Structure 1
Amino acid sequence: MIEFINVNKTYTNEIKALKQINLKIEQGEFVAVIGLSGAGKSTLIRCINRMHEITSGQLIVGGMDVSKLRGKEVRRFRRRIGMIFQSFNLVTRTTVLKNVLVSFVPDLSFIRKLTGVYIKEHKIKALTALDQVGILDKAFVRVDQLSGGQQQRVALARTLSQNPEIILADEPIASLDPVTSKIVMDDFKRINKEMNISVIMNIHHVEIALQYADRIIGVREGAIVFDDQTAKVTDDILDYIYKGQTEQVLAEIAKEQAYV
């Protein structure tokens, strides 16, 4: 379980990114976080794995107070949480398999880190993860020869190889076309249901969020203004989350998709 208790986040420029966040996310939920750019969506999910430090309050993940972890404890904690970015964060000039194997580097001995030699168990886990996202046949292909959607699936496989309990996804389909976006979102949904992995996704595409997520969290100016089942989201609620700009947001998304 993930629990925010009166969490605040203020940046050094005095911008209050999160204001009095109180939130519980149970294991196995698929949650979409929506709101305008700059509303605090990315900050919210990045606090979960301590990419951002909270300013005050408590953040409990799996029974641990995240802000109290230090050194090796933080590294061990982060092994339980996968992070997917819009930009994929892959080494494009090497193979798909080697990109997935990178997730095991923290587990390697000093000599193996220097030589880049992985044990058989790691290779099996990496290949299994590639199979889970349907690109096992691309294992020995260079990443720069793949489409954007395939690259995002490599990033997802790299995360799955860690056996995470939670996947945080920060705008994972923002740079993908509509057809590829559906394929990637289908992967997220299947992994969520079949493996009981919690998925917390910051997403700009409102219609896709409503289609795939079980629960919607609406963030506006650093505060949670809506938190409920997807089925309870109405046009009025979307207008409130987006301060009456829902039509404009949807039009911008449609324009982006048409351009891609």
Structure 2
Amino acid sequence: MIEFNHVNKTYHNGTNALKNINLKIEQGEFVAVIGLSGAGKSTLIRCINRMHDITSGHLYVNHVDVSKLKGKQIRRFRRRIGMIFQSFNLVTRMSVIKNVLVSFVPDLPMWRKLTGVFTKEHKLKALEALDKVGILDKAYVRVDQLSGGQQQRVALARTLAQNPDILLADEPIASLDPVTSKLVMDDFKTINQTMKISVIMNIHHVEIALEYADRIIGVREGEIVFDGAADQVTKETLDNIYGSKSNETPFLAEAN
């Protein structure tokens, strides 16, 4: 479970990115966070795994007060939270399986870190993760020979190999074409449903958020202005989240 209690985040330049956030996310939910660029969506997600520190309030993940963690505690905590980025963050000159094996490096003894020698168990887990996202046949292909969608699925497999409880995704399909975006979103949905992993996703594509997520959180100027089921979202809801910009969304263009 993730719980925000009166959480605020102010950056050094004085920007109030999050304002009095009160929010609970239960294990196994698929949540899409939507809103304009700069609304605070990425900040909200990145506070969960301590990529950003909160300024005040309390943030709990599985009853652990995240802001009180230090040093090795933070690293151990992050092992249970997977993070997917728009930019993939892969080593493109390495093979697919080696990129997935990177997820095990923090837990390796020093001699294995230095030599790059992984156990048979690690290799099997990496292959299983690749199988779950449908690219097992690409295990020994160099990453730079893959399409953007395939690279995002490698990043997803690398995260799954950690066996996380929570999967955070920051604009994971922003650089993908519509067909590839659907394939990647199908992967997220399957993982959420079959593995009961919580998915919290920051996404600009409103129509895709409504199709895949069970719950929508709308953020505007650092505040939560909507929190409810996807099927409860209306044109008025989106007007409240996006303001005058709402007509730019494909969902509203069709509705109008």
Q: TM-score, normalised by structure 1?
A: 0.96
Is residue 149 from structure 1 mapped to residue 140 from structure 2 by the alignment?
A: no
Secondary structure in 2 matching 1:43: helix
Aligned to 2:222: 222
Q: Deviations over 1:118-166 (max 9, x none)?
A: 1111111000000000000000000000000000000000000000000
Alignment of 1:93-242 (within 5 A): 93-242=93-242
- Structure 1: gaps spanning 5 or more residues: 255-260
Secondary structure of 2:243's counterpart equals coil
CA apart distance, 1:246: 1.3
Residue of structure 1 in register with 2:34 after alignment? 34
* CA distance, structure 2, for counterparts of residue 142 and residue 247 of structure 1: 42
Aligned residue identity for 2:78: R
Match of 1:257 in 2: none
1:48-59 correspondence to structure 2 within 5 Å: 48-59=48-59
Q: Deviations over 1:99-123 (max 9, x none)?
A: 0000000011111100100111111
Query: Take 1:67 and 1:107, find their aligned partners in 2: how far apart are those partners?
Result: 23
- Per-residue CA deviation, residues 70-124 of structure 1 (Å, 9 max, x unaligned), is 1111000000000000000000001000000000000111111001001111111
- Tell me how far apart the structure 2 counterparts of residues 248 and 27 of structure 1 sit (CA, whole Å): 33
Aligned-partner Cα distance in 2 for 1:75–1:120: 24
Whole-Å Cα distance in 2 between the matches of residues 74 and 240 of structure 1?
36
Q: Equivalent residue of 1:242, what SS?
A: helix
Any gaps of 5 or more consecutive residues in structure 2?
none
Distance 1:170 1:72 in 2: 24
Aligned to 1:15: 15
Moved over 4 A (4+): none
Query: 2:23 and 2:243 mapped to 1: Cα distance?
Result: 22
Q: Give CA deviations for 1:173-231 in whole Å, capped at 9, x if unaligned.
A: 00000000000000000000000000000000000000000000000000000000001
Aligned to 2:46: 46
State how far apart, in whole Å, the 2-side matches of 1:60 and 1:107 are.
24
Displacement of 1:37: 0.1
> In structure 2, how many angstroms separate the alpha carbons of the residues matched to 1:105 and 1:126?
12
Q: Deviations over 1:20-51 (max 9, x none)?
A: 00000000000000000000000000000000
Does structure 1 residue 245 correspond to structure 2 residue 250?
Answer: no
Aligned to 1:82: 82
Task: Name the amino acid aligned to 1:222.
Answer: G
Cα distance in structure 2, aligned partners of 1:52 and 1:122: 30
Instruction: Report the Cα distance in structure 2 between the residues aligned to 1:119 and 1:77, rounded to whole angstroms.
Output: 23
Calculate percent identity across the aligned residue pairs: 77
TM-superposed deviation, 1:244: 2.6
Shift of 1:249: 3.6
Q: Which amino acid aligns with 2:244?
A: G
Question: Partner letter of residue 100 of structure 2?
Answer: V
Q: State the alpha-carbon separation in 2 of the partners of residues 90 and 49 from structure 1.
A: 20
The structural deviation recorded for 1:250 is 3.3
User: Aligned pair 1:63/2:63, yes or no?
Assistant: yes
In structure 1, the residue corresponding to 2:83 is in which secondary structure? strand
